[in-house]
Structure formats: C-alpha cells, structure tokens
Amino acid sequence: MKKIIRITLVVLLIVLIIIQFVRPQKNKSNRVANDISTKYPIPTNVDSTLKVACYDCHSNNSDYPWYWNFQPVAWFMNG
C-alpha cells in the first residue's frame, strides 16, 4: 500500500513539473482604441480610480500577480 502511494505521489510531482512548461499567453498590448477615455470625457480622479481598480483585469495590459507563474493557476486566471 505504501508503495502505491509513493508511486502516485512521484507521478503527481512529475506531472506538476511538466505542466509548468505549458503557459498561456500574457495579455500585453499598447492598443488603446477601445479605452473608455477615448470615447467619453472622464474626470482625472475617476480616471485614476479606474486605472487602479479596474484596468488590471479589464484592459489589454494586465498586471499579473506572482502566483500567475504557477500552473494550473495561470490556466484558471486566463479563463
């Protein structure tokens, strides 16, 4: 029984190491064509709040947290 558990843990560790090399593409772009500030006039204080609170997820230039570098977390966050 211990041998089966040990083999299972080794296989799981190998799979976790292998999937670290399969990464989703990062969301980096300098396009601002669909930015809300190009369509509507936005006050400066609202614009700064939007950039801090919303642009991280709702833009084409995401800032990824440190745990994004580990799979399958990046796959989950990419979805």
Output phi, psi for 61, to 5 deg.
-140, 75
pLDDT per residue of the chain (79 residues) written in tens, 0 to 9: 889 999 999 999 999 999 999 888 777 766 666 777 788 888 989 888 888 888 777 777 777 788 888 888 888 877 7
DSSP 61: B
Provide the pLDDT for residue 1.
Answer: 84
pLDDT value of position 32: 66
Give me the pLDDT at residue 67, please.
84
| pTM of this prediction exceeds 0.85 | no
Q: Letter for the amino acid at 50?
A: L
- The three-state secondary structure class of 28 is strand
Distances (CA, A) of 56 to 9, 51, 52: 37, 7, 7
